Amino acid sequence: MAGITLEAVTKIFPGTTVAAVEDLDLTIEDGEFVVLVGPSGSGKTTALRMIAGLEEMTHGRIRVGDRTIGNSPPRTRDMAMVFQNYALYPHMTVRDNMGFGLKMKRVSKQQRNERVERVAAMLDMSELLGRKPKELSGGQRQRVAMGRAIVREPAAFLMDEPLSNLDAKLRVQMRAEIANLQRRVSTTTIYVTHDQTEAMTMGDRVAVLHQGKLLQVDSPQELYRRPSNLFVASFIGSPAMNSMPAEVERCGEGISLRLAGQSLTLPRDSMARFPHLSVQPGAEVVVGIRPEDMQDPSFESRGDAGQTLEMRVERTEMLGAEIIAYMCLCEPDLKGRRAHAEATRPLGAEQHQDRNDLPAIFTARLDPRSVFKRNQIVKVSVAVDRIYLFDPATGRSLG
Amino acid sequence: MPGVDLKRGVDPGLGEARDSATPNVIRHEESRLGWFLVLPVLIVVAVLVLYPLGFGFSMSLRSIIFGSGIPDHFVGLRNYQDVVTSSSTTAAAVHTAGYLIGALVLEVAAGLGIALLLNRSFKGRGLVFAVLILPWALPSVVSAILWQRLFAPNASGLLNSLLLDLHVISAPHVWLASTTSAIFLITLLHVWGVIPLTSLIFLSGLQSIPDDLLAASAVDGATPFRQFRHITLPLLRPALAVALTTGTVVALAIFDEIYVLNGAALNTRSVMMQVYLTTFQDLDFGHGTALAFLLTGVTTVFGIVYIRGLRRVEH
Amino acid sequence: MTSRLGRLLRGAGILAILAWSLGPILIGVLTSISTQAEVQATPAVWIPKSISWDGYRALVDSHAGAGLPGGTETAAFGRAMLNSGLVTLESTAVILVLSVFSGYAFSRLRFRGRIVVLAVILATLTIPVFALVAPLFRMMAGLRLIDTQLGLVLIYLSAEAPLAIWLFYNYSREMPREPEEAALMDGCTRLGAFVRVVLPQMGSGIAALTAILLLATWGQFLIPLLFAPTLNSKPVTVLITEFVGKYTTNYPLLAAAGVLAMLPPAVVAIFLNRHIRGMLSGWSG
């Protein structure tokens, strides 16, 4: 068992000029569970495959413990991988699948069987040992793939979207199971996923990648509370953070933001919270507000309904414990015109890009007793002390 | 940048295999195994295809007639000129064109029809497939032997007997004596062995058409005929290109069926038969190889035309 | 079109396919068990009254090949069948190994020059064997390989290997990559992963290619017509055509020879038909 260190790891696929992974620096402690998360094309799988030795680095350095493993073949790296489609050996029984790695290490047959049986018992699948992969359900295959990795007692587990082929219910169950298993065997684990929920629930730390670059590595809480830039802020959290361009104005000792003709005044300590904020007249920022920081003023639990924005309710979804409301922050004269078409537009992480010329749709998590109705113009209270500000040019957090 | 081999930087890539720019252990191991596995094939192709190809071309530029007592000598393109202007080549080319056109029409029509019939699954389809494939699996000379009694020239020949019974003809026909009927019947025998392949090509084309597309157009009110005309047919273009190319390659090389049914008879000689006779009966290797190379050229041109033409229409 | 009418037409169509495909074979079988008198009767007798084995007997015991070059003592037909079988098995084995190895290598391994070599081999697909027959004949004559099994195997290699490589390259490309990568992670070398994990998964492709090569080789005619002049190596396809000249109107004997020569490929086609279909569909890919 060992920690893994990546130094300036870069991959440029031949025939392309853009790096699939660019100067990736990442240190993973011994026994740590680190999740690489990002949308497709972010380079996360390529990074994992370079650690595995299935893909060569264009340049950079990878160290495992105190060994430097340049571009050595996978078999010398002592790592086990769990693949998205499990990659079981179709012609072998579960027992042989799990024991294959040990066989390659010339572990005696008796020892091999003992270890396979022990792990099978641990994963509660002893009765499957005699079966072939095609006789197993998706969940069982997943378990065998995990077992095959665990039996080898490798220096690290590498997992490439191992849950994405399971149905939703099983995925939630296996999520917990894998996280528990990892804690039990405490083997260094690198886990790749595009699903931020998976990343947040499983990882000790989460590394967010976008377009081949590592944007931020932090614990899930930190990542959520202090995103280093707009991409991380919108990618982490569901529903995604609302973001919109605004103008900054000085307002006495505090700061006021003008968005679409309305204004929000930030608390006095804001200058300290946003050390990188420039308050030149006309300075622009991108404002980020988490859906849970917007509330129906009647149910504002903190008794501070002072800061509000006037919005038009486009659509509400009653989820029982809360109401998800989609609301349009429109200029008064624009109200209701283009807004309707906009309400049906899917809300994604990239939505901030074309915010400028479209009425902004905000998502809010409202108290279930809220009586906001479709097409109603309402006042929405905003927790201004938890607002995020980003540089509109670089996307970097101003906090 | 240390470790970057600029020469390897750009690699068009074939298939999905990935390439890398860093020479290293992984690559070295792969490279060694790759060459190890490929080298025998490369040697085979070099010695048994490329070398004879070059050798053959040089033969086509020389006058080589065994037993003539005349020593080999270089004649340039004269062999080509001779065979192009010879009347026996013209006759053989006309016959071959007949075989080709007949074969392509029958193969495309029957292949498409069979593919449409077998596209939807039904009980016993596997069995029908097994039977369908049989004519393709049999050696063409064996097929010719099986068909021979059908074409027998007297009244006990099966085709004659059948047509006499039906009063289509009044006297037995010597089928293989008249050019038209002989070429038609030999073509029929030829396509008997090729249609199974054509059907499978069209069938895999049909199966690559997403069901959703047809369902969607049915919802939009398209009749089955219009569906076929506006969705199925255009999407079958690639399959058609493959079927035409395959059909042309085998039809231009037609030999076995003619050899068995009608030997070297003048009225059915194909270009391939002419190549055979020139080279191995007359022992005139120069003219024989020149004609063979011309036939190769024509075959290649046809292939290129189909693939290009059908691809262009698609856009 | 009502669905009942549609179904009726479909049924008729399928019957027509069966009749078209099986008809000539059936006529051949019936002819082979007819007597000489029956095949010469007017009007024709399609179905013989009783089974006559004359045609087969003539083939098996009567030195049907006697008088033909090389066919002196034993029945030439049996010898030719044996020649066909041996050369077919030998060529298939050699081409199979070459195309499985190289098809895998071209589709999976990255090595310098891969694309060039593959392109050269695929380009040779466009060269029909008849362009090479004359030079190959001169080469083989020089090497004294005319009328030997080795000579035939080499020429079949030239004629069939490029297509076999192309078919197996396509097949191999479609195979999932991950089990192989899993094997590499589990400690295999490249070769180890190929032998222990990739090859065992290629069963259906290998079966299909074997079947296609068996059929193609058994059916070769022009090549052995030139390269296998005597019964030392002469295959059944060539011998049969000699019967045509020799026993012009002995249809039962000819048909019996045809039926016997048809049996091995028919068995292969029927038993491996599913695999063959799969690979021939990949033809278009």
Q: In chain C, which residues have their Cβ closer than 8 Å to the Cβ of A84?
A: 178
Chain C residues interacting with chain A (CB cutoff of 8 angstroms): 176, 178-179, 181-190, 192, 197, 200-201
Mark yes or no for CB contact B30/C190 under 8 Å.
yes
Of B1 and A77, the structure prediction assigns the larger pLDDT to A77
Q: In chain A, which residues have their Cβ closer than 8 Å to the Cβ of B4?
A: 58-59
pLDDT given for residue C2 in this prediction: 57
Reported as a pLDDT band with limits 50, 70 and 90, residue C49 is confident
Per-residue pLDDT of chain A (399 residues; tens, 9 = 90+): 589 999 999 999 988 889 999 999 999 999 999 999 999 989 999 999 999 999 989 989 999 988 888 788 999 999 999 999 999 999 999 999 999 999 999 999 999 999 999 999 999 999 999 999 999 999 999 999 999 999 999 999 999 999 998 888 889 999 999 999 999 989 999 999 999 999 999 999 999 999 999 999 999 999 999 999 999 999 999 899 999 889 888 777 778 888 888 888 888 777 788 888 877 777 889 999 999 999 998 887 765 557 889 999 999 999 999 999 999 886 654 444 444 444 444 444 344 444 444 567 899 999 999 989 888 899 999 998 889 999 998 999 988
Give the bridge partners for A11, in sequence order: A21
From its phi and psi, is residue A279 left (phi > 0), alpha (psi between -120 and 50) or beta? alpha
Q: In chain B, which residues have their Cβ closer than 8 Å to the Cβ of C154?
A: 48
Q: In chain B, which residues have their Cβ closer than 8 Å to the Cβ of A71?
A: 22, 24-27
Question: Residue A15: closest CA among chain B residues belongs to which residue?
Answer: B10
pLDDT given for residue C282 in this prediction: 61
pLDDT given for residue B11 in this prediction: 36
pLDDT given for residue C63 in this prediction: 55
A74 interfaces chain C, CB cutoff of 8 Å: yes
B22 interfaces chain A, CB cutoff of 8 Å: yes
- Quote the CA–CA distance of A10 and A57 in Å, as a whole number: 6
Give the residue carrying structure tokens 């390989």: C145
B8–chain A nearest CA distance, Å: 8
CB-nearest partner of C179 from A73, A80, A89: A89
CB-nearest partner of B132 from C17, C115, C124: C17
B5 interfaces chain A, CB cutoff of 8 Å: no
CA neighbours within 13 Å on the CB side: how many for B102? 20
Reported as a pLDDT band with limits 50, 70 and 90, residue B78 is very high
- Quote the CA–CA distance of A154 and A64 in Å, as a whole number: 12
Give the residue carrying structure tokens 């930030």: A266
Of A265 and B309, the structure prediction assigns the larger pLDDT to A265
Alpha carbon of residue C180 to chain centroid: 32
From its phi and psi, is residue A335 left (phi > 0), alpha (psi between -120 and 50) or beta? beta
Percent of chain B surpassing pLDDT 70: 91
Could you read off the pLDDT of C86-130 as tens digits, one per residue? 999 999 999 999 999 999 999 999 888 899 999 988 888 878 777
CB-nearest partner of A71 from B9, B12, B25: B25
pLDDT given for residue A354 in this prediction: 43
Asked if residue C95 lies in contact with residue C108, where contact means CB atoms within 8 angstroms, the answer is no
Question: Residue C176: closest CA among chain B residues belongs to which residue?
Answer: B16
CA neighbours within 13 Å on the CB side: how many for A222? 11
Q: In chain B, which residues have their Cβ closer than 8 Å to the Cβ of A55?
A: 18, 20
pLDDT beyond 60 at C263: yes
- Give the residue from C45, C110, C115, C259 with the most B CB atoms within 10 Å of its CB, the best one to mutate: C110
Q: In chain C, which residues have their Cβ closer than 8 Å to the Cβ of B282?
A: none
Mark yes or no for CB contact C178/A83 under 8 Å.
yes
Could you read off the pLDDT of B8-38 as tens digits, one per residue? 333 333 333 333 334 467 778 888 999 999 9
- Quote the CA–CA distance of C51 and C49 in Å, as a whole number: 7
Mark yes or no for CB contact A100/C201 under 8 Å.
no
Mark yes or no for CB contact B26/A71 under 8 Å.
yes
Q: In chain A, which residues have their Cβ closer than 8 Å to the Cβ of B12?
A: 15
Give the residue carrying structure tokens 């809300």: A347
Mark yes or no for CB contact C222/B52 under 8 Å.
no
CB-nearest partner of C185 from A74, A85, A91: A74
A101 interfaces chain C, CB cutoff of 8 Å: yes
Reported as a pLDDT band with limits 50, 70 and 90, residue B311 is low
Q: How far is CA A66 from CA A5, A58, A281, in A?
A: 10, 22, 54
Asked if residue A75 lies in contact with residue C189, where contact means CB atoms within 8 angstroms, the answer is yes
B43–chain C nearest CA distance, Å: 11
**By C-alpha distance, which of B265, B256, B250, B284 is closest to B91?**
B265
Q: What ipTM was assigned to the predicted interfaces of this complex?
A: 0.90
Q: In chain C, which residues have their Cβ closer than 8 Å to the Cβ of B200?
A: 277, 280-281, 283
A68 interfaces chain B, CB cutoff of 8 Å: no
- Quote the CA–CA distance of B38 and A286 in Å, as a whole number: 58
- Give the residue from B140, B141, B254 with the most C CB atoms within 10 Å of its CB, the best one to mutate: B141
* DSSP assigned state of A352: G
B106–chain C nearest CA distance, Å: 13
Q: Using a CB cutoff of 8 Å and minimum separation of 24, what contacts does A112-115 make?
A: A115/A151
Q: How far is CA A115 from CA A152, A157, A175, in A?
A: 9, 17, 24
Percent of chain C surpassing pLDDT 70: 92
**By C-alpha distance, which of B149, B162, B185 is closest to C249?**
B149
User: What number of C-beta contacts closer than 8 Å exist between A and B?
Assistant: 49
pLDDT given for residue C4 in this prediction: 84
Mark yes or no for CB contact C27/B156 under 8 Å.
no
* Total-model pTM: 0.85
B28 interfaces chain A, CB cutoff of 8 Å: no
Asked, as a colleague might, if the bond just before C229 is cis with ω within 30 of 0, I would say no
Give the residue carrying structure tokens 């097409």: A375
Mark yes or no for CB contact C43/B129 under 8 Å.
no
A138-151 helix and A168-185 helix, angle to the nearest 10 degrees? 10
**By C-alpha distance, which of A198, A217, A240 is closest to A363?**
A240
Buried b (16+ CB within 10 A) or exposed e, C93-111: ebbbebbbbbbbbbbbbbb
B111 phi and psi, to 5 degrees? -60, -45
Least confident window among A250-259, B202-211, C177-186: A250-259
A73 interfaces chain B, CB cutoff of 8 Å: yes
- Quote the CA–CA distance of A132 and A78 in Å, as a whole number: 26
A52 interfaces chain C, CB cutoff of 8 Å: yes
A71 interfaces chain B, CB cutoff of 8 Å: yes
Q: Which of residues 13-42 of A touch B (CB under 8 A)?
A: 13-15
The bridge status of strand A21-28 relative to strand A188-193 is unpaired
Mark yes or no for CB contact A14/B9 under 8 Å.
yes
Mark yes or no for CB contact A54/C182 under 8 Å.
no
- Quote the CA–CA distance of B253 and B270 in Å, as a whole number: 8
pLDDT given for residue C123 in this prediction: 84
Q: Is C177 helix (H, G, I), strand (E, B) or coil?
A: coil
**Burial (Cβ within 10 Å: 0-12, 13-18, ≥19) of residue A276:** exposed
pLDDT given for residue C81 in this prediction: 93
Asked if residue C101 lies in contact with residue B33, where contact means CB atoms within 8 angstroms, the answer is no
- Give the residue from A11, A46, A56, A72 with the most B CB atoms within 10 Å of its CB, the best one to mutate: A56
| DSSP per-residue codes, B56-110 | HHHHHTEE-BTTS-PPPEE-TTHHHHHHHH-HHHHHHHHHHHHHHHHHHHHHHHH
The amino acid that residue C10 corresponds to is: R
Q: Length of chain A, please?
A: 399
**By C-alpha distance, which of C174, C188, C167 is closest to C280?**
C167
- Quote the CA–CA distance of A10 and B51 in Å, as a whole number: 45
Asked if residue C244 lies in contact with residue B145, where contact means CB atoms within 8 angstroms, the answer is yes
Query: Cβ–Cβ contacts within 10 Å for residue A205, how many?
Result: 19
Sheet of strand A67-68: strand arrangement: A21-28, A4-11, A59-64, A67-68
pLDDT beyond 70 at C11: yes
Mean pLDDT of C132-137: 92
